[in-house]
Amino acid sequence: MIRIRQLKLHIDHTEAELKKKICRTLRIREAALLSYNIRRQSLDARRKPELFYIYTVDVLISSEKQVLKKNRDKNVSLSDWKPYEYPQIGEIPMRHRPIIVGSGPAGMFCAYLLAELGYRPILLERGMPAKQRAADVENFWKTGILNPNSNVQFGEGGAGTFSDGKLNTLVKDPVGRNQKVLEIFVEHGAPEEILYVNKPHIGTDVLVNVVKSIRQRIIANGGEVYFHRQVTDLSFSDQKLQGLTVRDTVSGTEEFLDAQTVVLAIGHSARDTFEMLDYRGLNMEPKAFAVGVRIEHSQKMIDKSQYGRNRGQELPAAAYKLTASLDNGRSAYTFCMCPGGYVVNASSEMGLLAVNGMSYHDRAGTNANSAVIVTVRPEDYPGDGPLSGVAFQRALERKAYAAGAGKVPVQLFEDFCNNKASTELGSIQPQIKGGYTLSNVRELFPEEIGNSIELGIRAFDRKLAGYGAGDAILSGVESRTSSPVRIIRDETLQSNFSGLYPCGEGAGYAGGITSAAMDGLKVAEAIAKRYRPFDKTEK
């Protein structure tokens, strides 16, 4: 196949015009063009309001050799695209079926591949199936009544289900895991365009059904999936895993499961499980992450700034990504930007409050929101144990809960700069899932963090005019940006207890839906390379 890069067309081009451009670039007649695959589509707004799409395509033509021989265009070459490489299957017989703890992207994709390869995995999830979970989350946002096991962080699909479902990642991908993850999402109902658009996203309304379909495939391939099952303990002997204790979070009953291979894909908010793992002597360490606020602006303002015009029908709600190195040595950056989205109360513990963001697939909300966060490191945390970062998060979230009287504390940027509580809104109406209270968000943070957030927003205002408007809305606290803990794993991806595989964001090896799913595939490959599929006759 031949790859063509930098194919530039006006945003309202037709498919026929793309084909024509391909043929003109390769100097071939249209009849010689057998097929083409779009590998990348990105928006070029450098000459806004004139907007263009830049394409990378792989092309199948009848006269490939001749065309390449005559070719002088540096954007034309042989394609290096290759499909995902399945792992070689190992030899060691399995005594027990592999158990995966957590049905977030990491656990789900790990189970998906192990089931596809015939290992009949058992997937345990402390939360509820997607439909029940959606009801629990809506109820929380309406009444403030939190279900500590079925909420924005816990349940089928993991933390990413109530999100914007942005799928871009910076993780290097030598074996095609990124593409494989996107292909599996498309196979289970995600829009085809995620395979090639520069900033792919699914949206919560679509994601809920995609995770259900993935679950059904795991079961169809011989896996089993259990909800409201929380792993509350692990047992070891001679540094080897022996089994785990599972509590039914509905009935309260407990059972013990013999286990030889367990994947810990528990996410960044499983603090009670982190405490159990620390107590059981698992090697863990505190990890740097970031904290801050979520900021809201009118989406129209962001569209104008990014496109130089209104977005009309043909353009998606505009996004932005901003960073600033601050004089105090810290850096501030925007994170998990949700165009046309909502700020959500993303809490998972009673009396503690954390926010995050989400959008629906159409991103049609009136506001744009994003986290504005500042990096924090172990030296910022109280104490120095592996869970000191968790303690740092909890302290911020406890203050946020108090400041908002159980609802999301909200403040205008001008009041944030004056460190005084807001009493009225300006031109922007908060778009928040879960109630909110006008309050003083700045006082939630240690002084240096509060200063860094203000300096960051002022720096962003110089890059995106209007970003630092006095009536921009800030809500707090954004504290679950990534895991505050890393669970140490060796080159076989096992912990200091053999048979236990730390995986995904909670273990400190991923940040985001796609990279967590890729880490799930990576751990599944490691297990498959070691063991041969579980065979009933080998009891």
Report strand pairing: 254-258 vs 240-248: antiparallel
Neighbour-count burial of 406, counting CB atoms closer than 10 A to its CB (0-12 exposed, 13-18 middle, 19+ buried): middle
In this complex, which beta carbon is closest to ligand FAD, that of residue 12 or of residue 362?
362
**What span, in angstroms and rounded, lies between the C-alpha atoms of 2 and 25?**
11
Q: Which secondary structure element, helix H or strand E, spans residue 172, and what is its range?
A: none
Distance CA 14, CA 382 (A): 58
Say whether 242 sits in a helix, a strand or coil: strand
**Member of 22, 56, 98, 102 binding ligand FAD (CB under 6 A):** 102
Helix (H, G, I), strand (E, B) or coil at 440: coil
Residues 15-74 that bind ligand FAD (CB under 6 A): none
Pick from 410, 506, 518, 534 the residue near ligand FAD by CB under 6 A: 506
Helices 105-116 and 177-187: crossing angle in degrees, nearest 10, is 90
For the chain, the straight-line distance linking the first and the last C-alpha, in angstroms and rounded, comes to: 48
Cβ atoms of 457 and 414 within 8 Å: the answer is no
* Closest distance of CB 349 from ligand FAD, Å: 13
Count of residues that interact with ligand FAD, criterion CB under 6 A: 46
Helix, strand, coil proportions of the chain in percent (round to 5)? 30, 25, 45
Of 2, 4, 122, 124, the one binding ligand FAD by CB under 6 A: 124
Mapping DSSP to helix (H, G, I), strand (E, B) and coil, where does residue 399 land?
helix
Write out the binding residues for ligand FAD, residues 327-386 only, by CB under 6 A: 336, 344, 346, 356, 358
CB of 360 to ligand FAD, least distance (A): 12
505-318-326 Cα angle (round to 5)? 60
- Amino acid at residue number 231: V
Kindly write out the interface string for residues 275-314 of this chain, putting x where it contacts ligand FAD by CB under 6 A and - elsewhere.
----------------------------------------
Q: Give the number of other Cβ atoms within 10 Å of residue 313's Cβ.
A: 4
Nearest to ligand FAD of 103, 367 (CB atom): 103
Q: At a CB cut-off of 8 Å and minimum separation 6, what does 114 contact?
A: 98, 100, 120, 121, 223, 524, 527, 528
2/358 with CB nearer ligand FAD: 358
CB 294 to ligand FAD: min, Å: 10
Q: Which is nearer to ligand FAD, 305 or 345 (CB)?
A: 345
**What is the DSSP pairing of strand 408-412 with strand 367-376?**
unpaired
Is the CB of 25 or the CB of 356 nearer to ligand FAD?
356
Peptide bond into 49 cis (omega under 30): yes
> Per-residue b/e over 443-478, b at no fewer than 16 CB within 10 Å?
bbbeeebbbbbbbbbbbbbeebeebbbebbbbbbbb
**In the complex, what is the shortest distance from the CB of residue 221 to ligand FAD, in angstroms, rounded to a whole number?**
19
Tell how strand 342-345 and strand 355-358 pair up: antiparallel
Site for ligand FAD in 232-271 (CB under 6 A): 265-268, 270
Smallest separation, CB 77 to ligand FAD (Å): 31
Look at residues 280, 286, 279, 277 and name the one whose alpha carbon lies nearest to residue 502. 277
- Which one, 117 or 487, has the nearer CB to ligand FAD? 487
Q: What's the residue count for the chain? A: 539
CB 246 to ligand FAD: min, Å: 8
Q: In one letter, which amino acid is 495?
A: S
Q: Contact letters (x/-) for ligand FAD, 133-172, by CB under 6 A? A: -------------------xxxx--xxx-xxxxx------
CB of 44 to ligand FAD, least distance (A): 23
CB of 329 to ligand FAD, least distance (A): 27
231 belongs to the binding site for ligand FAD (CB under 6 A): yes
Whichever of 2 and 159 has its CB closer to ligand FAD, that residue is 159
Based on DSSP, count helices (H) and strands (E) in the chain, helices before strands: 12, 26
Q: Cβ 515 to ligand FAD, closest distance in Å? A: 7
Stretch binding ligand FAD (CB under 6 A), from 66-74, 76-84, 95-103, 207-215: 95-103
CB 192, min distance to ligand FAD, A = 19
Interface stretch with ligand FAD, choices 18-26, 305-313, 465-473, 501-509 (CB under 6 A): 501-509
Our CB check for ligand FAD shows the closer of 370 and 494 to be: 370
State in angstroms the smallest separation of the CB of 155 from ligand FAD. Answer: 6
**Looking at 94, 504, 508, 523, which residue binds ligand FAD (CB under 6 A)?**
504
Residue with tokens 């085809």: 192
**152 vs 474, beta carbon nearer ligand FAD:** 152
Phi then psi for residue 137, to 5 deg, are -70, -45
The first and second tokens of residue 164, run together, are 């914007």
Is 409 or 434 the residue whose CB approaches ligand FAD more closely?
434
- Rounded least distance, CB 495 to ligand FAD, Å: 15
CB closer to ligand FAD out of 163 and 221: 163
Least Å from the CB of residue 168 to ligand FAD: 7
CB 164 within 8 A of CB 357: yes
Residues forming contacts to ligand FAD in the complex (CB under 6 A) are: 101-107, 124-127, 152-155, 158-160, 162-166, 230-231, 265-268, 270, 273, 336, 344, 346, 356, 358, 480, 504-506, 510-514, 516
